[in-house]
Amino acid sequence: MYFAPSWVLVATFVTIAYSSLLRSLVDNLSAGPSYLAAFGFAVAFALCVLAHEAGHTAVSLALGRPVRRIVIFLLGGVSEVEGEVERPRDELLIAVAGPAVSGLIAGVAASVAVFLPHDKLPAVLLALLTWSNLVVAVFNLLPGLPLDGGRALRAIVWGASRSRRAGTLAAAWIGRVVAVLVALASVYAISERWGVFSFVTGLLLAVFIWSGAGRAVTSLRLAERVETLRIADLLRPGVLVTSDVSVAEAVRRAQGSAAQGIVIVDGAANPIAIVEEHRVRELPVERQPWWPIASVARPLEAGLVLSERADGSALVDALRTTPAGEYLVVREDGSLAGVLTARDVAIALGGGRQ
């Protein structure tokens, strides 16, 4: 669980703005207690947002989907679920869990408030919690990504069409429509003199929804490119040298054999290290004849040796597990197939080689 620094801005504004609101709704409430009560409401509302995200997290964990953390920030919260949900049913259940928790909190707060004097501080605070949680539930159910309603819509379209891609595109484009409507609503709010806060909040939410919808489409396209990755298409030929060879000599041999990668081997011709291209480039040319190639190489470890069958998401997962600039690719019999660079993979994921 992580509270972003931006949450402090919300807490500060709520404390200042709601203190005057509380004084107008509660008889004989002085300034000091009103600020304290308003700050208490800000904390309570943050806990309600946390409970909303905990609803997502609980269902996600129950369905076997790990969650990295919950983040509470300026515009609400987010549960960072690891990986992609594999079934539309699971997506739907996780999506609706948060609004369901917010609706439940609103119902409990309203049920308690009816038994209290309506003009007293506890009843007023419970009424504010009721309405705030209802707003969170209803707003999040709007049918556009990245909102919970957008995830629910994606699940429904996904289940009906058997295509996650179709569900994501539908929910993302509707999300952009929702963003425009929210922006127009914020303009209407300022025209009706509902306050600058309503206007700014509306615009921030519109930007958040629009950018979130765009990220969903970008992530979809990236995932599609990942699945087309073939390690054989990205392999660079490599040249084998021993560790006592100078950088200049190793580069000369690589250029002479049209190789684009350098692998260091031991006396038995077993690979023991892979040369890091950026370190070679950083070494001044006049010093390269005097530096051994081993000084610009990274010793091989398990994660730096890839199978030539590591394609698609398996390849990307391997690179994420052991970040590096270069990797040694071997065939099934253990022989050298070539060298793979992270730069070439990044270019391929970006839409093409350069």
* pLDDT per residue as tens digits for the range 48-99: 999 999 999 999 999 988 888 888 876 677 877 777 788 999 999 999 999 9
Which token pair is 311? 């394609």
**How high does pLDDT run on average in the chain?**
90
CB neighbours of 349 closer than 8 A, spacing ≥ 6?
A: 222, 225, 226, 229
- Shared-domain flag, residues 88 and 219: yes
Within 13 Å of residue 100, how many CA atoms lie on the same side as its CB? Answer: 13
Q: Are residues 186 and 239 in the same domain?
A: no
Looking at residue 73, its pLDDT comes to: 73
pLDDT at 354 over 50: no
Indicate left, alpha or beta for 338 from its phi (over 0: left) and psi (-120 to 50: alpha). left
Overall residue count recorded for the chain in this entry:
354
Q: Report how far residue 128's alpha carbon sits from residue 122's, in angstroms, rounded to the nearest whole number.
A: 10
Domain that holds residue 81: 2-228
- In a domain, residue 72? The reply is yes
Same domain, 160 and 96: yes
Q: According to the 3-state scheme, what is the secondary structure of 88-146?
A: HHHHHHHHHHHHHHHHHHHHHHHHHHCCCCCCCHHHHHHHHHHHHHHHHHHHHCCCCCC
Decide if 354 is inside a domain. no
Our count of domains for the chain comes to 2
What does the pLDDT look like over 182-239, one tens digit per residue? Answer: 999 988 877 766 667 678 888 989 999 999 999 999 999 988 889 889 998 999 999 9
Q: Is 192 exposed, middle or buried (0-12, 13-18, 19+ CB in 10 A)?
A: exposed
Pair of tokens at residue 291:
């530096």
Q: How confident is the model at residue 313 (pLDDT cuts 50, 70, 90)?
A: confident
pLDDT at 67: 86
Are 258 and 210 in a shared domain?
no
pTM here?
0.77
Confidence grade of residue 1 (pLDDT, cut at 50, 70, 90): low
Q: How many CA atoms lie within 13 A of 88 on its CB side?
A: 18
